[in-house]
Amino acid sequence: MPPTPYRSAAEHLRDHLALARRLLAAAARRRQLEDVDRWYDDGALVALHDELARDEATIAARVACSEQARLPLARLRACFGLSSTELRVLAVLVGLELDLGLRAQVRAFTGDVRRPEPDVGLLAEVLYPTPAERARIPEELGPDGRLARSALVAIDHDPARAFVLRPARATARILELVHGKDALEPDLARTCELWPAQARPGLVRPAVADELDGLVAALIAASARGAAHPVVLVTGPDGAGRKTLLADAIAARGVATLRVRVAALPADERALRELGARLRREAAWWGAAVLLDGVDAHAAVGAQALDELLFDDAPLAIVATAGRITGRPPRLGRGAVVVEVGVPGEAAREQLWRRALPASTDVAVARWAAERYAVTPGVIAAAASAATARAEARADALMATDVHDGLRGVLDAKLATLGLRITWRQTWDDLVLPDDAVAEVREFIARVRHRRLVYDRWGFGRKVAKGLGLSALFAGPPGTGKTMVAGLIADALRLDLYQVDLSKVVSKWVGETEKNLGELFDAAEAGHAILLFDEADSLFAKRTQVQSSNDRYANLEVNYLLQRMEAFAGIVILTTNHDAAIDEAFRRRLSLRVDFPVPEPDERERLWRALLPAEAALGADIDYATLADRFEMTGGYIKNAALRAAFLAADEDAPIAMRHLERAARAEYQAMGKVVAQ
C-alpha cells in the first residue's frame, strides 16, 4: 500500500512523538538489561528496535510524498542537513514543550528529581541507542554542532557543568514554527528584516550595476557549493541606493535578502556570537543572502572582524554596505570586493526628480534641481516629498524654492548637528576692504558661478582630476570682516552658509573626528552648501613631530582633512587670526587666500559712517575723521562701539553725539588692551 501524505504539521509531529515514546520504551528496556552484551539477544528489545526502524521508514516515506513546505520539522531537516538523530533531538525537545504526557513519561524514566529538565545525558541515552549513533553525540550535542550553531536548540554549554548534565531546550523560534507562526522573533526583528526575492521595477541603474550583478551571482553560486567567497561591499554616500542595488541583484538570482542593521548590533562579543547563531538560522531557513547594512558603523571586537564573530565560516552569501571610504576600509574576515556607488549623473538626477515631483510640476524645476544639487536618489525622494507638502499647503504650483527648502530640511538633520546655518544682513555697501582684496573675493564668486562651464563643457575637469571644489582662507585680526565676507559670498551665490561647530566635530575618541568630518563634507557637497570653519587654525594646524600617541592621532586627523579636502567638490571657507599656524599642505590646496588687514584711517572713517544707520538720530557734532584717527580699531570693534553709543544715547533720550561715540570707542579700545592718548 503506498504511503499517504501528511495532511498537517500536527500529524507529522504526532508521529515523531510516538517515535519518541517508543525510543523511551527501548531505553527503559536497555536499563533493565543492565549488561550491554544482552541488548542484542533480548527479543523484546530487538522487536522495539525493529519497530523503531519501521516507524522512521514510514515517516520518511510519508514526508517524501507530502508538501514539505507545510511540515516544519521536515523543512528544518532539509534546510540544515540534520541527521536522523539530530531530528530526533529536535522532535523530542519540541514535544516536551507541548506534550504533558511525554514530559511525565520522561520524568518517570529518569526517576531523578534533580533533573527536572531534559539534558544532554538523557538525550544521549534515549535517542542514540546504537554504537554508531553514540559516536556522534559529542559532535551533534556539542557547542559546535548544527543544532546549537544554528540556534535550533539551546544547550547551556557552561564549562563548569558536566557535559551530560547540561540542560537542553528547543528555542522559541522552533516552537513558533511548529505552531504555524513563521516570522522573525520580535527582538530579532529590531535588528534585521527579511526582503523577499522581488525585483524593483524602474530602478535607475548606475554604471556599476552590471559589475555588481556579476559579483553577486558569483557569490551566491559559491555559497551554494559551500565554497569561500569574499564579501561584496558596496560603498557610497547615504541615499545612493546601495541597499536597493544589492537586494535587486540578489533578487535577480531568485534569492531573498536578510538585511541586518549593523548600527543596532550589540558590542559585546558573547552577545554577537549568540545573535550570529540566530541570524545563520534565519538565513538558512529562508535561503537568504545576508546584507550587513552599514559595516562601518560597528567597531570590530577584539581581534576578530564582525563577519567572523557573527558567522564564522558558515557558507552564507554575505554582502555589505558602508559609507564613502576615505580612510581605512571596514575590516572583514572573509575579505571584500569593493564596489563604489557615487552620486548619479545630471541626466539620471533629472529623471529621478521628474519621477519624485508631482506630474504637474514644470519640467524646468527638475532640470534646475538636477543641475544645482549633486544628491543621491534617497535624498531626492525625501526632498521631493517635503517640497510637495510645502506646495500643497500653499495650494500653488511647486516651485524651485520649494525644492531648495525641502532639500535643506533633509540635509539640515546632518549639517545642523555639527554646525549652524547662519544668515547675514549686511550688504556689499557695508564692506570696507582694500580694492585688491575685494577683487579676489569677486573672482572667487565668479569661479563658483562658472565652474560647470570650465570643468564640464571646456573639459578642464578631466585635466584637474581631483580638487574640483573651491576653498578660501581669510586671514587677519579679529573684527576685520572675515565672517561677514563669507556671508556675502553665500548671499551672492544663493547658497546656505553653515558655520562649523568644532566642539562637536572634534572628538577624543579615535576615528570619531574623521567620521564627523566625513558626514559634514558629504552633506555640504550634496546640499550645495558652503562650510565655514572659523578659527580654522585649531583644526588645520601644522603637523608635529610624533612624540606620543596623541601626536600620532592628531597628525592622522590632519592627513584625513587633506585627503577629504582634495575629494570635496563643494565650497569651504576658512578663517584664522593666526595664519602662520595653518599647515603648509593646506595652503597649497587653497583656491584663494585673502588678507584682511587692520583698516587704514580713511577705511575706518568709512566704517564709522557705514555702521551708523541713516534712520538713527545723529548729533551734528560727530567728527568721523577724529574717531578714525584716535581709535585704531577693526570693523568688528567699531560696530560694537557704534551700537554701544546708540544705547548710551537712548538711555539719555538724546541723539547719538560725539561724546557717546568717544565714550563707547574708549571702552572698546580698553577691551582690546590699548590705551587712548588724551
Q: What is the pLDDT of residue 551?
A: 43
pLDDT tier at 550 (50, 70, 90 boundaries)? Answer: very low
51 C-beta neighbours (distance < 10 Å), count:
14
pTM of the model: 0.75
Its domain, for residue 224, covers: 186-340
Mean pLDDT of 493-519: 76
Within 543-623, strands assigned E span 571-576, 592-595
3-class SS string, 469-483: CEEEEEECCCCCCHH
Q: What is the pLDDT of residue 357?
A: 93
Alpha-carbon distance of 330 to 308, in angstroms, equals: 13
> Is residue 3 domain-resident?
no
169 and 20, same structural domain? yes
578 C-beta neighbours (distance < 10 Å), count:
12
110 and 49, same structural domain? yes
Within 124-242, strands assigned E span 153-155, 168-170, 192-195, 231-235
Q: Show which of 562, 595, 628 is a domain's final residue.
A: 595
Asked if pLDDT for residue 569 goes beyond 60, the answer is: yes
> Is residue 4 domain-resident?
no
Residues forming beta bridges with residue 336, ordered by sequence position: 231
Q: Helices 635-652 and 601-611: crossing angle, nearest 10°?
A: 40
| Residue (of 101, 95, 11) closest to 58 by Cα position | 11
577 and 455, same structural domain? yes
Q: Which range is least confidently modeled, 33-47, 82-96, 175-189, 413-427?
A: 33-47
> Is residue 423 domain-resident?
no
For residue 334, how many C-alpha atoms fall within 13 Å in the half-sphere facing its CB?
27
Q: Are 324 and 239 in contact (CB under 8 A)?
A: no
Q: Are 530 and 497 in contact (CB under 8 A)?
A: yes
569 and 535, same structural domain? yes
Asked if pLDDT for residue 654 goes beyond 50, the answer is: yes
10 C-beta neighbours (distance < 10 Å), count:
12
Asked if pLDDT for residue 363 goes beyond 60, the answer is: yes
Q: Show which of 595, 617, 644 is a domain's final residue.
A: 595
Q: What is the pLDDT of residue 544?
A: 47
Asked if pLDDT for residue 584 goes beyond 80, the answer is: no
251 and 156, same structural domain? no
334 and 243, same structural domain? yes
228 and 150, same structural domain? no
Identity (one letter) of the amino acid at 268?
D
Asked if pLDDT for residue 358 goes beyond 90, the answer is: yes
Q: What is the pLDDT of residue 549?
A: 42
Q: Show which of 287, 318, 340 is a domain's final residue.
A: 340
How far from 277 is each of 25, 41, 151, CA to CA, in Å? 34, 44, 5
Mean pLDDT of 326-337: 81
Q: Are 378 and 239 in contact (CB under 8 A)?
A: yes
Q: Name which residue leads in pLDDT, 171 or 567.
A: 171
Alpha-carbon distance of 11 to 18, in angstroms, equals: 11
Residues with Cβ < 8 Å from 347, sequence gap 6 or more? 370
Specify the CATH number for the domain of residue 655. 1.10.8.60
pLDDT tier at 129 (50, 70, 90 boundaries)? Answer: confident
Residues with Cβ < 8 Å from 423, sequence gap 6 or more? 487, 497
DSSP structural state of residue 351: H
548 and 468, same structural domain? yes
Specify the CATH number for the domain of residue 490. 3.40.50.300
Give the number of domains in the chain. Answer: 5
Q: Helices 72-80 and 84-98: crossing angle, nearest 10°?
A: 140
Q: Helices 9-33 and 120-127: crossing angle, nearest 10°?
A: 90
How far from 454 is each of 151, 181, 627, CA to CA, in Å? 60, 62, 47
Longest dimension (CA), the chain: 129
Q: Name which residue leads in pLDDT, 112 or 263.
A: 263
DSSP structural state of residue 456: I
| Residue (of 308, 359, 354) closest to 331 by Cα position | 308
Supply the mean pLDDT for the chain.
Answer: 84
Q: Considering just the CA atoms, what is the radius of gyration of the chain in Å?
A: 37
245 and 105, same structural domain? no
Alpha-carbon distance of 120 to 177, in angstroms, equals: 23
Q: What is the pLDDT of residue 252?
A: 92
Alpha-carbon distance of 363 to 575, in angstroms, equals: 40
Q: Which range is least confidently modeled, 195-204, 434-443, 590-599, 638-647?
A: 195-204
pLDDT single digits (tens) 9-23: 888 888 888 888 888
188 C-beta neighbours (distance < 10 Å), count:
18
> Is residue 2 domain-resident?
no
Asked if pLDDT for residue 331 goes beyond 90, the answer is: no
pLDDT tier at 104 (50, 70, 90 boundaries)? Answer: confident
| Residue (of 305, 306, 304, 213) closest to 260 by Cα position | 306
Alpha-carbon distance of 78 to 67, in angstroms, equals: 13
630 and 606, same structural domain? yes
Quote the Cα angle for 420-426-431, to 5°.
115
Asked if pLDDT for residue 37 goes beyond 80, the answer is: no
493 and 434, same structural domain? yes
Kindly provide the b/e burial profile for residues 495-514, where b requires at least 16 CB atoms within 10 angstroms of the residue's own CB.
Answer: bbbbbbebeebeeeeebebb
521 and 459, same structural domain? yes
Q: What is the pLDDT of residue 675?
A: 60
Q: What is the pLDDT of residue 389?
A: 93
- The pairing of strands 318-322 and 289-293 is parallel
> Is residue 145 domain-resident?
yes
Mean pLDDT of 277-285: 92
Kindly provide the b/e burial profile for residues 148-169, where b requires at least 16 CB atoms within 10 angstroms of the residue's own CB.
Answer: bbbbbbbbeeeeeeebeebbbb
| Residue (of 253, 234, 314) closest to 282 by Cα position | 314
Q: Are 380 and 352 in contact (CB under 8 A)?
A: yes
> Is residue 140 domain-resident?
yes
Q: What is the pLDDT of residue 415?
A: 76
> Is residue 676 domain-resident?
no
Alpha-carbon distance of 639 to 443, in angstroms, equals: 27
Within 426-513, strands assigned E span 470-475, 497-500
Q: What is the pLDDT of residue 387?
A: 92
> Is residue 582 domain-resident?
yes
Q: Name which residue leads in pLDDT, 328 or 242.
A: 242
